[in-house]
Amino acid sequence: MRDLMRKQIATLLLLSIFLMFTGCAEKPSEDLYLNFTPYELPLSELWTLTVNETGVENETASFSDLMIRIGPHGLPEHVLLEFCGVKEDRRNFFHVEVNRQGHVSWYSGENVGGSFRWPHPLELLGEIEKVRFREIDFGKDGLSIEVFDEAGNVSYKSDKVNCDIFGLENGKLIPLESVSFSSEDFRYPVLISKRGYYNVLITENRTTGEDDIVFLLEKEPLCFYAFTERDLSRAEMLVYAENNETV
């Protein structure tokens, strides 16, 4: 799973860099802001604002990526949303960011390839904002939320140490034991993880005289994956946990 996470993050960074050089920058309204409330993510409001500001045809929009950083006190520090959609009869790739003050900025670049096989952004944004974040342990550094596309043969199993897995249904997290996918249909697992979840132990190496750095994992699970009903309906195998206590 960790290799998959690294691959997904690297892909998003490369895509963002590419768009910085190829995208057509557009100046957003100076008063384009979201009001943040602790433990709440106004993602539906962000989408409405995005449609109004960018001029994208709402019905043509298809999700690409989402990355959110939340501080230890529940306030969002950074939101990045990327999606495709038609504007003025041209298909565009849109990059939308929100900073910790709630200021929204965006740019777009023409994207002529591919097909609209992804879900509408609001399908995922609306589901994620319903999660009861007040009931999740944020740790000392807060949470990170990432959503990327995935396809092919992938299996997840809850190990209770590094990463748990859940079904996401109307904001509720339903514990799963395992889930496997084999279809080539694209899926969008929601990865929620603690930020800064390593304790660091530094010791002196008597042989080299240099410092050895050892990362000590915390006892609590470092992260969990949540799968929407849409994605679970495509699962080849799905096993719910015996203790089906929702969060």
The lowest-confidence range among 40-54, 77-91, 112-126, 208-222 is 208-222
Beta bridge partners of 62: 84
pLDDT tens figures, 154-164: 999 987 666 88
pLDDT tens figures, 34-81: 999 999 999 999 999 999 999 999 999 999 999 999 999 999 999 999
Amino acid in position 225: Y
- The dihedral built from the CA positions of residue 19, 105, 58 and 132, taken in this order, carries a sign that is positive
Q: How many contiguous H segments (helices) and E segments (strands) does the chain have?
A: 4, 14
CA dist., res. 202 & res. 241, Å (int):
38
- The dihedral built from the CA positions of residue 91, 184, 239 and 155, taken in this order, carries a sign that is negative
Q: Which residue has the higher pLDDT, 110 or 93?
A: 93
Query: What's the pTM?
Result: 0.77
Average pLDDT in the 177-198 region?
A: 84
E strand or H helix at 128, and its extent?
helix 121-128
CA dist., res. 118 & res. 46, Å (int):
19
CA angle 228, 138, 218 (to 5 degrees): 100
Q: How confident is the model at residue 179 (pLDDT cuts 50, 70, 90)?
A: very high
